[in-house]
Structure 1
């Protein structure tokens, strides 16, 4: 296991108030868990959450050590917050994985034919979407990350099975 692998735990969406608080969209199972992993990283910068309150769903309001004004908080807009994977809990079973485990994973069709690779994982608000680089066309396609479309994932052998929906040619 590569200890340097980073997992995105949230993204700062906007400043909140005038004292440097920010609104964070969390990608953790429970929003309060973003507070559990110590300093969060973005490039060379790290952020320590001083206080946090949950405002519903996957949104929290947080203050960071050293960010004391709305202007400073504004500079953090759209920054992704990462933790190293070794700080995260071990996953219990083979059906659990972190999003970054999917990146660069081979995508195979149900007949075991190679189709492409997972380029990235997106979430625009209505669920996870996998961006796939299709080997034959060198084009990217985006598909909803659902059990119907991706019926099987093998994390150990690093492949995911794609059941191509009818709308994809």
Structure 2
């Protein structure tokens, strides 16, 4: 079962004395905060965003009803999450990592290779870690010539493995 809420940031220290907090974004789309009305903080408390601005690498948020430093100090280190329905749309052929993890992986002949347990960020391209029974994990580069098809509704990825280097 996939998570229904997605983490998009972590609250840090208060910013000033009027109830604003610094948020370290954990998203490729920090501008998403401008489109959000409410977010989940910590274990599910819902807070309404009244103002969004940016300072250095932080998103500065002001929540309705939290108007001083002491009130927002209690939020420090809590995670901010959103419902899946509030995710930013991705271009065709792009996927969120949480959608990739858990996919069953098959080769072109239909043989099951395993299940994706993790996505590694290598700099040049991502690498899918495919867990296999009684074998070492298989590392599959996230390249168009290797990954032929991703079918999220079927929970399946089809890949063409490159021959071993001689």
Scaled to the shorter chain, the TM-score interval is: 0.5 to 0.7
1:38–1:75 distance in 2 versus 1, CA, 3 Å: closer
* Alpha-carbon distance in structure 1 between the residues aligned to 2:96 and 2:134: 28
TM-score normalised according to structure 2 size: 0.63
**Structure 1: which 5+ residue stretches go unaligned?**
none
Paired residues in the alignment total 159
1:142–1:16 distance in 2 versus 1, CA, 3 Å: farther
* Alpha-carbon distance in structure 1 between the residues aligned to 2:14 and 2:101: 32
Supply the RMSD in Å over aligned alpha carbons: 4.2
- Report whether the alignment pairs 1:155 with 2:143: no
The CA deviation at 1:153 is 1.5
* Alpha-carbon distance in structure 1 between the residues aligned to 2:60 and 2:124: 22
Bigger Cα Rg: 2
* Alpha-carbon distance in structure 2 between the residues aligned to 1:144 and 1:73: 43
> Do 1:131 and 1:140's aligned partners in 2 also have CA atoms closer than 8 Å?
no
**Structure 2: which 5+ residue stretches go unaligned?**
none
1:10-29 correspondence to structure 2 within 5 Å: 10-12=8-10, 14-15=12-13, 17-19=15-17, 20-29=20-29
2:104 counterpart (100, 106, 111) = 106
TM-score normalised according to structure 1 size: 0.62
* Alpha-carbon distance in structure 1 between the residues aligned to 2:76 and 2:127: 26
